Structure 1
Amino acid sequence: MTDRPAADTPPQEPAEPRSAPIGVSARTRRALGLPEPEQRSAARSAAHRMLERVGGPVGLAATAAPATAFVVADAAAGLGTAFVALGVTAGLACVVRLARRESPGAALAGLLVAGICAAVAAVAGEARAFFLPTTVLPVVFVLAHTVSLAAGRPLMGLVVNRLAGGPRNWWQHRPLRRLYLLSSVIGLAMAVANLLGRVGFYLADQPAALAAIQVLSTSAFAAHFAVTLVVARRVTSTTRTPVPFPSPTAVQH
C-alpha cells in the first residue's frame, strides 16, 4: 500500500492587518482633502493637560467674564449699569460651568463671590471696592505659605501630594520635599506680588488694573497648581524608597 502524495496546496497570502476604525472626523478630513493632524509632542500634550486642569479656554473665560464686564460697563455707563452687566455675566458663567459638568458647588460659589463683591461696591459707592473681598485671598496665601514653610511642611505639599498619589510621609522623600519647597516659595512670591499689586492699584483707584490683576492672578495660580501636580506625579512614579532626612535628635556615635 503506497502513500498518497500530499496534494500541493498553494501558499496562503498573509492576512492583511485590520486597520483601526476610522472616526467621523477622519472620514471628513479625507473627504475634504484636509491633511492629517500632526502628532502632539510630549511638551504640547503636557501643556494641553495643564490647560484642561485649569478649566481650559472656556473655563478661564467664564472666570474672567464677570469682573471684566463689571469694569467695562462701569467705565462706559456708570456703576448701576455695571451691576446689571455683572449679574448677567455671572449668571451665564454659572450656566456654562454647570453645562461643562463642573462641580455645582464651584458654580454657585462663583455667583456668591460676585454677589459679595457687588454688595461691597454698592455700599462703598465706587467700582474699586468691588475687588476688596478678593484681596483677602492673597493675604491668606501669604500667611499660609509663611507658616507652612516655617513649620517644615511646605503648603504645596499639603495641598498637592494626595492628588499626586505621593506617600504620606512625603517630607522624608528628598525629591518630593524639594519640589514642594520650591513650588511653595514660588507660590509665596506670587501671592506677595499679587497683594502688593492689588493694594497699589486700589490706592490709585484703577479698577481696570485691578480686574486685570484678578484675572491674571487666577490663571497664574491655577497654572502653578497644575504644573506642580504634573511634576509631583512624575516624581512620585520614579520614587521607590524613601530617603529620610536625618532626625534632629539622632545621636551619631
Structure 2
Amino acid sequence: MTYLPTTAQPGLAHADPGGARSSPSATARSVLGLPEPVVQSAARAATRRTLERVGGPLGLATAAAPTIAFVAADAVAGLGPAFVALGVTAVTACAVRLARRESPGSALAGLLVAAVCATVAAVAGEARAFFLPTMVLPAVFVVAYVISFVAGRPLAGVMVNRLSGGPRDWRRHPALRRAYVVSSLVGLAMAAANLVLRVVFYVADEPAVLAAIQVGATTLFALHFAVTLVVARRLAARPRTAPALSTPTTR
C-alpha cells in the first residue's frame, strides 16, 4: 500500500522534516507505537460493500417509506388519506430509485406492489388487508427452501452462486456447499418466523405491527442475501488446486 513506505524506511522521517508525506494521525500512531488500522479499514470496506448490495441506508429507507406512510396516515386520518399518502410516497420512492440509477424494473416493481396492496385494501375496506399480497412471499420462500433441500440444491446456492462467480459444480465444492446450506437454513428459519408473525398479527388486526414486521423482514432478508453473496464470493475466489500441490511431495 502507498502509505506503508514511511514505516518501512525509517530514514525518510529525518529526510522530510516538514512531514509532508505523513498525516497527523499517522504521526501520532508512530509516536505512540500504535499499528496501522489495516484490519479496521478492511472491516469497514466489507461493511460498506454489504450495505451497497442492498441499496444502502437510503435504498432501505426508500423501500420502507410507502408502507410507513400508509399505516401512519391510516392511524391519524383514516383509510382514504392513507391511500393518498401511499400514492405520493410510492411515486416519490420510484423517482428516487430512478434518480439513483437503479434498475427501472425494480423501481417500477415497487410501484406495482404498492398499487396491488392498495387495491386489495380498498376492496376489503380495511388497512390490514394492505399486507395480504406481501404475506404470500414468505410462504413461497418456505416452500422453495424445503423443496431445494429435498432436491439437494440449497436455495441460497441457486440464487447466489452465479452472482458470486462460483463454479458450476458448486455442490462438489465443500466450503461453498456448506456456506449455502447454512445460509439456506437461516433463510428458512427467517421466512417461517416471518410468516407466523404476519398471520398472528393479521388475525389480531394490528396494521402498525404488520408494517414493522414487513419493513424489518425486508431489511433482514436483504442483509442476509448480501452477506451470503460476500461470503460466497470469498470462498469461490479461493484456489481449489492448492491441496493438489502438496501431493507430489508425499508420494
Give TM-score scaled by structure 2 length. 0.80
- SS of aligned partner of 2:153: coil
1:86 to 2:81 alignment: no
Are residues 204 and 235 of structure 1, via their aligned partners in 2, closer, same or farther at CA, if it must alter by over 3 Å? same
Identity of aligned residues (%): 68
1:45 to 2:57 alignment: no
Aligned to 1:137: 137
Amino acid of the residue matched to residue 98 of structure 1?
L
Amino acid of the residue matched to residue 201 of structure 1?
F
Q: What is the rounded CA distance, in whole Å, between the counterparts of 2:135 and 2:78 in structure 1?
A: 23
Q: What is the rounded CA distance, in whole Å, between the counterparts of 1:240 and 1:174 in structure 2?
A: 10
Q: What is the rounded CA distance, in whole Å, between the counterparts of 2:41 and 2:149 in structure 1?
A: 36
1:118–1:130 Cα contact (<8 Å) kept: yes
How far 1:203 moved relative to its partner? Answer: 0.4
1:53–1:226 Cα contact (<8 Å) kept: yes
When the two chains are superposed, the root-mean-square deviation of aligned CA atoms in Å is 1.8
Which deviations, in whole Å up to 9, do the C-alpha atoms of 1:161-220 show, x marking residues without a partner? 001111101001110110000000000000000000100010000000000011010110
How far 1:97 moved relative to its partner? Answer: 0.2
Amino acid of the residue matched to residue 169 of structure 2?
N
How far 1:41 moved relative to its partner? Answer: 2.1
1:173–1:242 Cα contact (<8 Å) kept: no
How far 1:239 moved relative to its partner? Answer: 3.9
1:172–1:242 Cα contact (<8 Å) kept: no
Q: Which runs of 5+ in 1 are unaligned?
A: 1-15, 21-37, 244-253
Amino acid of the residue matched to residue 65 of structure 2?
A
1:183 to 2:183 alignment: yes
How far 1:50 moved relative to its partner? Answer: 0.5
Give TM-score scaled by structure 1 length. 0.80
Spell out the pairing of 1:1-253 with structure 2 (5 A cutoff). Answer: 41-241=41-241
1:120–1:130 Cα contact (<8 Å) kept: yes
1:74–1:82 Cα contact (<8 Å) kept: yes
How far 1:242 moved relative to its partner? Answer: 10
Aligned to 1:24: none
- SS of aligned partner of 1:205: coil
How far 1:241 moved relative to its partner? Answer: 4.2
- SS of aligned partner of 2:152: coil
Larger Rg: 1
Q: What is the rounded CA distance, in whole Å, between the counterparts of 2:239 and 2:149 in structure 1?
A: 23
Q: Which runs of 5+ in 2 are unaligned?
A: 1-15, 22-36, 244-251
Instruction: Select the structure that is richer in helix.
Output: 2
Which deviations, in whole Å up to 9, do the C-alpha atoms of 1:58-116 show, x marking residues without a partner? 10111000000000000000000000000000000000000000000110001100000
Q: What is the rounded CA distance, in whole Å, between the counterparts of 2:41 and 2:213 in structure 1?
A: 32
